[in-house]
């Protein structure tokens, strides 16, 4: 039987992947692929530097909790950011851009709280203000790289 924490993060990952895959307006596949890799690198380094090097939080060492953290970091947050970049860069409506920004920010904040509530991460010198600033920085990074990759794909003729 699967531990509850694992089931919770499997469902979150499934939901976020479904949202990203079922978007009507998407960036070209090559842009999404490059953006996925770039976001993964930053998220993994953020986790390593914040957790191990700076000791801002401690990662629970039980196997189900560690797998939940991997699901969260490698699938859930990554696909939230991909959906955010795809919608933000593919639409010109301000209300849609504001809506996806609010959705992406608060979903990532909720997921960070879930990590704490389920004892996947044990915060030591980390606060919700730090979490919020990190989320905003990573969202800006995602938009910046998404714009660059989209420009590259159009310029090189990788997209139709």
Within a domain: residue 158? no
3-state secondary structure of 58: strand
Q: Which two tokens stand for residue 23?
A: 């978007």
Domain residues for the domain of 138 are: 12-17+30-153
The per-residue DSSP string of 90-150 comes to H---HHHHHHHHHHHHHHHHHHHHHHHHTTSEEESS--HHHHHHHHHHHHHHHHHHHHHHH
Is residue 123 scored above 90 in pLDDT?
Answer: no
Q: What percentage of the chain has pLDDT greater than the value 90?
A: 76
Whether pLDDT at 26 is above 80: yes
User: Tokens 């976020």 identify what position?
Assistant: 16
- Residue 156: pLDDT band with limits 50, 70, 90: confident
* Domains: count for the chain: 1
Q: Is 92 inside any structural domain? A: yes
4 assigned to some structural domain: no
Which tens digit of pLDDT belongs to each residue from 38-94? Answer: 999 999 999 888 888 888 888 888 999 999 999 999 999 999 999 999 999 999 999
Residue 159 resides in a domain: no
Confidence of residue 159 (pLDDT cuts 50, 70, 90): low
């Amino acid at each position: 039987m699967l531990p509850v924490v694992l089931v919770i993060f499997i469902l979150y990952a499934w939901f976020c992947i479904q949202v990203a895959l079922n978007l009507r307006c998407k960036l070209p596949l090559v842009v999404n692929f490059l953006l996925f890799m770039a976001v993964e690198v930053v998220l993994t380094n953020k986790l390593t530097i914040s957790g191990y090097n700076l000791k801002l939080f401690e990662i629970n060492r039980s196997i189900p909790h560690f797998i939940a953290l991997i699901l969260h970091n490698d699938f859930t947050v990554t696909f939230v950011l991909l959906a955010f970049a795809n919608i933000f860069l593919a639409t010109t409506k301000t209300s849609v851009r504001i809506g996806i920004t609010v959705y992406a920010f608060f979903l990532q904040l909720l997921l960070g709280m879930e990590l704490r509530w389920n004892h996947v991460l044990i915060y030591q010198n980390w606060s919700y203000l730090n979490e919020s600033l990190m989320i905003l920085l990573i969202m800006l990074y995602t938009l910046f790289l998404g714009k660059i990759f989209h420009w590259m794909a159009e310029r090189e003729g990788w997209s139709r």
